[in-house]
């Protein structure tokens, strides 16, 4: 198949030539998409008509196992009835726009902070695939930042300083930044996870900064020093030249590599306009092909 990608931003993001993802089953095309992910870190597929079951099945063909309820499971029941299908919408259980003080809305506002999906879990998220069903007539964009470019452009001293550091990520931390409160019982289910601050992406071999607003501290560092360094790194990583802004069209399916990017939702009048997207995220566990290659 003649699948090609056109670069949408100077450092990352590719837009795919016309293709119907729900019909992609052949290994050759799946391998082309994975290679595209290695190169561009974010891929945009236009005009995708995919039912929920097709989105779930495609994600598994492309990258294996799926995350179940990346975070919101602790505070609410999934409106779509399947924990693997994240409800990225401003709609409540009744399908109507949520009230401003709705707890699920308050929780979802955390997506407006720079983050990478499921970094507070182990395994974390590898690929996220977000499909747009309903988009507002006003801007309600998602921004992406290239964390490989961010790493590459760090001064040598900073690279040396952060080599080998580990950080603790917790969804409770990013929500508390916005004043969201968890009950004692919820808090107990949200212990978080520890991951390296610098990652090497298998296959491409590129290094990336693994940052997220979920990060509460650097392991073995005093809390203030760790948070200050993480803030500086985030400021560096999200400079405008590293950022692509995706303006959603209905039918867009965007896949991003959570190891190589951060993203955030941009604000819009969510009391007035419906916005409905669905996300599936794969587990960042070693890919069978890479395990086999390492062992041979
Ligand atoms: C997500 C997310 C941002 C948005 O789906 O993981 O962060 O713009 N979405 O809805
Ligand atoms: Mn997200």
As averages over each run of 10 residues, the pLDDT of the chain (296 residues) reads 93 98 97 98 98 98 92 80 95 95 94 97 97 98 98 98 98 94 88 97 96 98 98 98 98 98 98 98 88 72
What is the pLDDT, as a whole number, of residue 288?
74
**Residue of 67, 72, 88 to test ligand 1 pocket, by largest number of atoms within 8 Å of CB:** 88
CB 140 within 8 A of CB 132: no
CB 137 within 8 A of CB 273: yes
CA of 1 to the centre of ligand 1 (A): 30
281 Cα nearest atom in ligand 1: 6
Nearest to 236 by CA among 262, 257, 254, 259: 262
CA of 295 to the centre of ligand 1 (A): 36
CA separation for the pair 38, 25 (Å, rounded): 20
Could you tell me which CATH number the domain at 5-284 has?
3.60.130.10
Mapped onto helix, strand or coil, the DSSP state of residue 283 is: strand
141 Cα nearest atom in ligand 1: 8
CA separation for the pair 116, 237 (Å, rounded): 13
Q: Is the CB of 276 under 6 A from ligand 1?
A: no
What is the pLDDT, as a whole number, of residue 13?
98
| pTM score, whole prediction | 0.97
């Amino acid at each position: 198949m003649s699948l090609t990608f056109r670069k949408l931003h100077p450092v990352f993001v590719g837009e795919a030539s016309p293709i119907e993802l729900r019909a992609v089953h052949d290994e050759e095309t799946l391998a082309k998409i994975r290679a595209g992910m290695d190169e561009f870190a974010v891929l945009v597929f236009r005009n995708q008509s995919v039912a929920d079951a097709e989105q779930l099945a495609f994600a598994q063909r492309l990258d294996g196992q799926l995350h179940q309820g990346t975070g919101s499971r602790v505070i609410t029941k999934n409106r779509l009835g399947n924990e693997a299908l994240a409800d990225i919408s401003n709609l409540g259980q009744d399908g109507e726009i949520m009230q401003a003080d709705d707890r699920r809305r308050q929780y979802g506002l955390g997506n407006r902070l720079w983050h990478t999906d499921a970094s507070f879990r182990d395994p974390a998220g590898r690929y996220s695939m977000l499909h747009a069903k309903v988009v507002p007539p006003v801007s309600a964009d998602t921004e992406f930042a290239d964390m490989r470019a961010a790493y590459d452009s760090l001064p040598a001293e900073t690279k040396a300083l952060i080599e080998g550091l580990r950080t603790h990520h917790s969804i409770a931390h990013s929500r508390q930044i916005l004043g969201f409160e968890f009950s004692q019982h919820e808090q107990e289910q949200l212990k978080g996870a520890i991951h390296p601050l610098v990652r090497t992406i298998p296959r491409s071999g590129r290094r990336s900064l693994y940052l997220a607003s979920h990060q509460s501290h650097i392991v073995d560092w005093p809390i203030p020093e760790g948070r200050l360094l993480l803030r500086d790194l985030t400021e560096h990583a999200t400079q405008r030249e590293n950022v692509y802004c995706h303006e959603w069209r209905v039918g867009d399916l965007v896949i991003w590599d959570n190891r190589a990017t951060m993203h955030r939702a941009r604000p819009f009048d969510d009391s007035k306009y419906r916005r409905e997207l669905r996300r599936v995220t794969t587990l960042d566990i070693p890919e069978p092909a890479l395990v086999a290659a390492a062992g041979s």
